[in-house]
Structure 1
Amino acid sequence: MDAPRTLVSQNKPMGDRGERMAAEHLERAGWTVLARNFRVGHREVDLVARRGEVVAFVEVKTRAGLGYGHPLEAITAKKRREIQFVAQMWVDRHGREGDSYRYDAIAVLLPTGGEPRIEHVEDAWRM
C-alpha cells in the first residue's frame, strides 16, 4: 500500500507554479531573475532578482484561496531569518560593489475557476 501523501508534497506543484508566475511577473516588470531556489543547506530563497543596482531576495507564497489567511501571513519571523541567512551567503558569493539589497515578498492566489492574482510587496521587511 502506498504511503499517504503529505500536505507539503500535495502543495508542491502549486508552489512551483506560483514561483514560475512570480518570476514571470518580475521579468515583465524589468527584473532579471538571477537564481531560483538558491539553497544553503536546507534553507532557501525562492528567487533572487536584479533590476539595475537593486538585488531583491524574494519569498513567494502561493495559495488556492484565503481560507488559511493571506499568503504573506505565512512568512514568519523564523522564515525571514532563514532568508536573511541565505541572502547573506548569496551576497558573499555573488555580490557586487555598489549594489543595494532588499527583501521582497510575492503572494500568488490561484483560485479555482478564477483568474490568478499576484501581489508584489517591495522591501517587505528589514534586517
Structure 2
Amino acid sequence: MSGLFSRIKGQAAERVACDFLKKAGFCILANNFRSRFGEIDIVARQGEILVFVEVKARSSSAYGTAFETVDRRKQQKIIRTALFYLSRKSLDNPYIRFDVIAVNANGQCFHIPDAFCPEE
C-alpha cells in the first residue's frame, strides 16, 4: 500500500509543479516521459531553453533534501532519458537545463534551476 501512496503523492506533486511552472511562464511539453533509460517528470520550455524537471514530494528533510535525493546515479538516468527525448523529437543542439522542484506537504514549490549538468 505504501507504494501506491507514494505514487499518488508523486503524481499530485507533479501536478502542483506543472501549475507552478506554468505560472512562471514555462510551456509544458510532456509529463512522465518514459524510455528504456528512465523517466523525466516534466519536460518544459522556458523561452529558448528546453528544461528537464525532476519533481520530489517532501514532507520533511528527515531522509534528505530534494536536491540530495537526486544523486549522481539518478542524474545520469535523467540525462540519458533527456538525450533519448532529444533524438526522438529530432532536436539538434537546443539549449537544455536540468531543474529540480521540491513540493512540500503544504503544496509550496522550491525550484532549483540548473540543479545539475551533464559531464562534458
Fold shared, TM-score > 0.5 on shorter chain: yes
Identity %: 34
- Once the two structures are TM-superposed, the CA of residue 69 in structure 1 deviates from its matched residue by 2.2
For residue 42 of structure 2, the aligned residue among 20, 44, 47 is 47
Structure 1 moving runs of 4+ over 4 Å = none
d(CA) in 1 for partners of 2:90, 2:113: 20
Residue of structure 2 equivalent to 1:124: 115
Pairs within 5 Å for 1:1-127: 5=1, 7-41=2-36, 43-96=38-91, 99-110=94-105, 115-127=106-118
Unaligned runs of 5+ in 1: none
**TM-score w.r.t. structure 1 length?**
0.85
Corresponding residue pairs, total: 118
CA RMSD between the two structures: 1.5
- Once the two structures are TM-superposed, the CA of residue 121 in structure 1 deviates from its matched residue by 0.6
Q: Residue type matched to 2:98 in 1? A: Y
Q: Is the 8 A contact 2:98 2:117 kept in 1?
A: yes
- With over 3 angstroms needed to count, the CA separation of the structure-2 counterparts of 1:121 and 1:95, relative to structure 1, is farther
**TM-score w.r.t. structure 2 length?**
0.90
